[in-house]
């Protein structure tokens, strides 16, 4: 109640200063309270830091120096007297209102000061300070003749949730150590504090396990194919398996240290019993299925049937719960993973374990009889409970995707809810800790706009929908909802630029949902700030998706079977211009004002959005043949 009262007071204080008082400020995620004050601070060429905690503040100062030195040419040093440009202060008496990651930032014409209880709070104060500087601060080269000013403000800020994560799938496509570091650099700008690394799957085993060398000798390599994942022909025996890679244990240590210096924890995921084809290709005896000795690491060919209410596997990509060697294998893996990663949890997957091969296994039937397991969900539950004991024996905590609820939840398991919110609600009601990452709001591998221009995936998640993410359902005790995260699966993400495109700007929306007070979320205000951060990313050469500017299609058929096209936009104030005559529309072409009937002889539709006199959306071309296929019959 005290914190709620404090937030309300801050919001009232913020409102008293007026929304218009901060029109030159665009901070993501929105702080708890920010007040624009008269004046500005001018960043000098020689910046001195004063601090009462030199050792604890050193990574923060180093980060700030690294971030600003190239663009400004400024030098950063420790203050030689009581006077300093920027002061970083750890509170002598803990201020309960701001917690371990909160801060108070004050900018006056003479000084910048940040107060926090812990070094993480100082770091997040620096992130806000950097966002207050002009967008050119993001430049990788010197910006001449630039006056570096910071508006005078008072900011009080702290996160709503302690778990603020992004999941980066480095298994489907391998991303280098340098690329993972870059992903961390981008996420900390927006106060994410957890990187979930999906390290193993059917397409690759990405972490060195010294006691099991074939996991990377065999399991880290596949045949390279490019196109839409899941549609490829199976690789031929003569095709080289040289696409992939893995992190050595020294690489992992380096990434962890890099993250720790930026106050990011890394959650490792070893996805079992399903999604284990890379492990089975290396060690076929881990499968219940004899023909596993012929299996290879997946290159994108179809290996699952997703039709109907019960999906099934075409080849057996599950570890065998009835095989004692599987638990010995996992003990070796978890021993080495636990020794590498300091974070308290290890994620052990548990999702999408197709059970049709288990149905045919005599070993599974014997296990069910011996352990009195009534169905295959209970077989998986038996497996998960044994894996939990292995994880806990290494001094770690066990977590998995919400499928681990089926057949009975392991006693101390933490649940990551991805199939909507219901799994998380159920787990919280059972008094288990929960992280919310539902497909409905947080799956950033989904398309961001229309399939006519986006790389085709089976679902769409627009920016405004991601911004509606509310991790805390009304029906559960808040103490069990630790936070949330967005998940970037990379089946169709082949390179780092596209990983950036898929993450931003939806990562902004998830960041604000996890950090900012619920009462302060406001879509029009948020998108105004997003556009400012687009400009910053342009300077920083970070790729982002402009999909929010593209039209939204609603395609139906009329009574006479004509195709009717209704268009709207995700943000207001945009005009849509179109043509069916194969030419390229601009503002001199017809403007969309009412539903269109597609001419029967037309072959393609082209359209583009404008804001005033300026094009802002992408030129989109849609074949009329595709419009016909997408049309839903009139009801």
Q: Please, what is the end-to-end C-alpha distance for the chain in angstroms?
A: 50
Asked whether the predicted pLDDT for residue 581 surpasses 80, the reply is yes
Kindly report the number of other CB atoms within 10 A of residue 344's CB atom: 12
Range name among 314-323, 501-510, 553-562 with the lowest pLDDT average = 553-562
* Neighbouring residues of 147: CB distance < 8 A, sequence distance ≥ 6: 42
Report the percent of the chain where pLDDT is more than 90.
91
Among the listed residues 505, 518, 575, the one whose alpha carbon sits nearest the alpha carbon of residue 545? 505
Give the predicted TM-score (pTM) of the model: 0.94
Q: Supply the pLDDT for residue 9.
A: 46
Q: Supply the pLDDT for residue 18.
A: 37
Pull the structure tokens for residue 575: 């005009």
Phi (first) and psi of residue 43, to 5 degrees: -70, 125
Summarised one tens digit per residue, pLDDT across range 343-383 is 999 999 999 999 999 999 999 999 999 999 999 999 999 99
Q: What is the 3-state secondary structure (H, E, C) of 509-571?
A: HHHHHHHCCHHHCCHHHHHHHHHHHHHHHHHHCCCCCCHHHCEEEEEEECCCCCEEEEEEECC
**263, 120 Cβ separation under 8 angstroms:** yes
Summarised one tens digit per residue, pLDDT across range 259-290 is 999 999 999 999 999 999 999 999 999 999 99
Banded model confidence at residue 309, pLDDT cuts 50, 70, 90:
low
Residue matched to tokens 């596997």: 313
Q: What is the mean pLDDT of residues 294-309?
A: 90
Q: Supply the pLDDT for residue 24.
A: 80
Q: Supply the pLDDT for residue 363.
A: 97
> What is the rounded radius of gyration, in angstroms, for the C-alpha atoms of the chain?
26
Report the alpha-carbon angle 43-45-46, nearest 5: 100
Pull the structure tokens for residue 532: 């400012």
9, 424, 563, 564, 593 from 556: Cα distances, Å:
50, 36, 6, 5, 17
Among the listed residues 248, 223, 261, the one whose alpha carbon sits nearest the alpha carbon of residue 56? 261
Q: Supply the pLDDT for residue 444.
A: 98
Higher-scoring residue by pLDDT: 591, 306: 591
Q: Supply the pLDDT for residue 65.
A: 94
Summarised one tens digit per residue, pLDDT across range 399-452 is 999 999 999 999 999 999 999 999 999 999 999 999 999 999 999 999 999 999
**577, 608 Cβ separation under 8 angstroms:** yes
Asked whether the predicted pLDDT for residue 212 surpasses 90, the reply is yes
Q: How far is CA 409 from the centre of its chain?
A: 26
The three-class DSSP label of residue 458 is coil
Catalytic residue numbers?
201, 275, 352
Q: Supply the pLDDT for residue 4.
A: 46
- Top-level CATH class of 2-157? alpha beta
Among the listed residues 316, 346, 313, the one whose alpha carbon sits nearest the alpha carbon of residue 330? 346
Among the listed residues 62, 233, 72, 39, the one whose alpha carbon sits nearest the alpha carbon of residue 145? 72
Domain boundaries, given as residue ranges, for the chain: 2-157, 199-233+242-412, 550-630
Residue matched to tokens 């994942």: 229
The three-class DSSP label of residue 486 is strand
Residue 92's Cβ-count burial label (10 Å; 0-12, 13-18, 19+) is exposed
**210, 282 Cβ separation under 8 angstroms:** no
Q: Supply the pLDDT for residue 77.
A: 85
Q: Supply the pLDDT for residue 308.
A: 66
Write b or e for each residue in 615-632: b if 16 or more Cβ atoms lie within 10 A of its Cβ, otherwise e.
ebbbebebebeebeebbe
The three-class DSSP label of residue 468 is coil
Among the listed residues 515, 632, 509, the one whose alpha carbon sits nearest the alpha carbon of residue 563? 632
Q: Which helix (H) or strand (E) holds 179?
A: helix 177-188
The three-class DSSP label of residue 621 is strand
75, 438, 453, 499, 505 from 448: Cα distances, Å:
41, 16, 10, 13, 10
Asked whether the predicted pLDDT for residue 16 surpasses 50, the reply is no
Asked whether the predicted pLDDT for residue 323 surpasses 50, the reply is yes
Q: Supply the pLDDT for residue 20.
A: 37
Q: What is the 3-state secondary structure (H, E, C) of 376-397?
A: HHHHHHHHHHHHHHHHHHCCCE
Distance CA(296)–CA(222), nearest Å, equals 8
Summarised one tens digit per residue, pLDDT across range 519-548 is 999 999 999 999 999 999 999 999 999 999
The three-class DSSP label of residue 356 is helix
- Top-level CATH class of 199-233+242-412? alpha beta
**317, 277 Cβ separation under 8 angstroms:** yes
Q: Supply the pLDDT for residue 78.
A: 80
Summarised one tens digit per residue, pLDDT across range 126-150 is 999 999 999 999 999 999 989 999 9
Whether CATH 3.40.50.720 fits 550-630? no
Distance CA(545)–CA(627), nearest Å, equals 24
What is the pLDDT of the chain when averaged over all its residues? 94
Q: Supply the pLDDT for residue 190.
A: 98
Q: Supply the pLDDT for residue 561.
A: 85
Asked whether the predicted pLDDT for residue 7 surpasses 60, the reply is no
Distance CA(469)–CA(486), nearest Å, equals 10
Strand partners, 33: 156
Write b or e for each residue in 130-147: b if 16 or more Cβ atoms lie within 10 A of its Cβ, otherwise e.
bbbbbbebbbeeebeeee
Distance CA(220)–CA(217), nearest Å, equals 6
Phi (first) and psi of residue 251, to 5 degrees: -60, -45
Q: Which helix (H) or strand (E) holds 367?
A: helix 362-371
Strands 200-201 and 204-205, bridge-based pairing = antiparallel
Distance CA(378)–CA(49), nearest Å, equals 59
Please list the helix, strand and coil fractions of the chain in percent, rounded to the nearest 5, in that order.
Answer: 35, 25, 45
Residue matched to tokens 């006519």: 452
Kindly report the number of other CB atoms within 10 A of residue 303's CB atom: 18
Summarised one tens digit per residue, pLDDT across range 458-512 is 999 999 999 999 999 998 999 999 999 999 999 999 999 999 999 999 999 999 9
8, 481, 612, 626 from 584: Cα distances, Å:
51, 50, 18, 19
Banded model confidence at residue 40, pLDDT cuts 50, 70, 90:
very high
Summarised one tens digit per residue, pLDDT across range 63-118 is 999 999 999 999 888 876 556 799 999 999 999 999 999 999 999 999 999 999 99
Asked whether the predicted pLDDT for residue 21 surpasses 60, the reply is no
Among the listed residues 310, 323, 311, 406, the one whose alpha carbon sits nearest the alpha carbon of residue 362? 323
Banded model confidence at residue 311, pLDDT cuts 50, 70, 90:
confident
Strand partners, 153: 36
Q: How far is CA 554 from the centre of its chain?
A: 28
Residue matched to tokens 């962890």: 256
Asked whether the predicted pLDDT for residue 14 surpasses 90, the reply is no
């Amino acid at each position: 109640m005290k914190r709620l009262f404090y937030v309300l007071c801050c919001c009232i204080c913020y409102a008293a200063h007026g929304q218009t008082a901060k029109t030159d400020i665009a901070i993501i995620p929105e702080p708890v309270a920010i007040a624009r004050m008269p004046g500005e601070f001018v960043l000098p060429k020689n910046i001195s830091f004063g601090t009462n905690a030199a050792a604890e503040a050193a990574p923060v100062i180093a980060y700030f120096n690294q971030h600003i030195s190239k663009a400004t040419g400024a030098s950063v040093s420790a203050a030689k007297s009581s006077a300093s440009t920027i002061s970083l202060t750890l509170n002598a008496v803990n201020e309960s209102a701001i917690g371990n990651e909160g801060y108070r930032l004050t900018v006056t014409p003479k000084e910048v000061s940040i107060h926090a209880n812990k070094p993480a709070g100082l770091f997040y104060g620096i992130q806000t300070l950097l966002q207050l500087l002009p967008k050119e601060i993001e430049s990788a080269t010197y910006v001449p003749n630039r006056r570096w000013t910071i508006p005078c403000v008072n900011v009080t800020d702290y996160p709503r949730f302690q778990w603020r994560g992004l999941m980066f799938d480095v298994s489907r496509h391998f991303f280098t150590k340098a690329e993972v570091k870059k992903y961390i650099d981008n996420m900390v700008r927006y106060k994410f504090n957890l990187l979930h690394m999906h390290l193993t799957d059917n397409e690759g085993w990405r972490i060195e396990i010294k006691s099991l060398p074939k996991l990377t000798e065999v399991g880290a390599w596949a045949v390279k194919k490019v196109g839409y994942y899941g549609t490829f022909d199976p690789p031929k025996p003569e095709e080289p398996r040289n696409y992939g890679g893995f992190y050595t244990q020294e690489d992992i240590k380096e990434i962890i240290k890099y993250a720790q210096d930026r106050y990011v924890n890394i959650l490792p995921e070893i996805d079992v019993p399903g999604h284990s084809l890379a492990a089975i290709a290396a060690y076929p005896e881990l499968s219940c299925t004899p023909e596993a000795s012929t299996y290879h690491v997946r290159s994108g060919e179809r290996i699952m049937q997703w039709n109907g209410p019960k999906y099934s596997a075409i080849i057996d990509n599950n570890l065998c719960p009835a095989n004692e060697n599987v638990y010995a294998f996992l003990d070796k893996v978890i021993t080495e993973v636990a020794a590498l990663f300091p974070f308290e949890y290890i994620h052990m997957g548990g999702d999408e374990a197709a059970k049709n091969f288990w149905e045919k296994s005599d070993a599974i039937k014997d296990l069910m009889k011996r352990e009195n397991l009534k169905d295959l969900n209970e077989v998986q539950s038996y497996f998960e409970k044994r894996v939990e004991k292995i994880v806990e024996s290494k001094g770690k905590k066990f977590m998995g995707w919400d499928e681990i609820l089926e057949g009975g939840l392991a006693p101390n398991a933490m649940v990551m809810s991805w199939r909507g919110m219901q799994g998380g609600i159920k787990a919280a009601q059972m008094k288990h800790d929960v992280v919310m990452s539902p497909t409905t709001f947080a799956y950033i591998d989904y398309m961001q706009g229309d399939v006519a221009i986006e790389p085709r995936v089976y679902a769409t998640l627009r920016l405004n929908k991601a911004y509606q993410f509310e991790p805390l359902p009304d029906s559960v005790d808040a103490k069990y909802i630790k936070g949330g995260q967005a998940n970037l699966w990379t089946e169709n993400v082949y390179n780092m630029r596209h990983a950036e495109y898929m993450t931003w700007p939806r990562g902004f929306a998830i960041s604000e949902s996890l950090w900012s007070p619920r009462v302060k979320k406001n879509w029009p205000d948020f998108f105004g700030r997003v556009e400012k951060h687009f400009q910053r990313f342009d300077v920083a050469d970070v790729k982002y998706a402009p999909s929010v500017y593209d039209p939204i299609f609603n395609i139906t058929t009329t009574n006479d079977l004509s195709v009717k096209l209704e268009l709207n936009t995700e943000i207001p104030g945009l005009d849509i211009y179109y043509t069916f005559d194969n030419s390229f529309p601009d503002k001199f072409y017809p403007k969309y004002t009412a539903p269109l009937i597609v001419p029967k002889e037309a072959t393609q539709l082209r359209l583009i959005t404008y804001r005033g006199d300026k094009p802002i959306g992408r030129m989109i071309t849609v074949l009329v043949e595709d419009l016909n296929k997408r049309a839903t019959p009139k009801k």
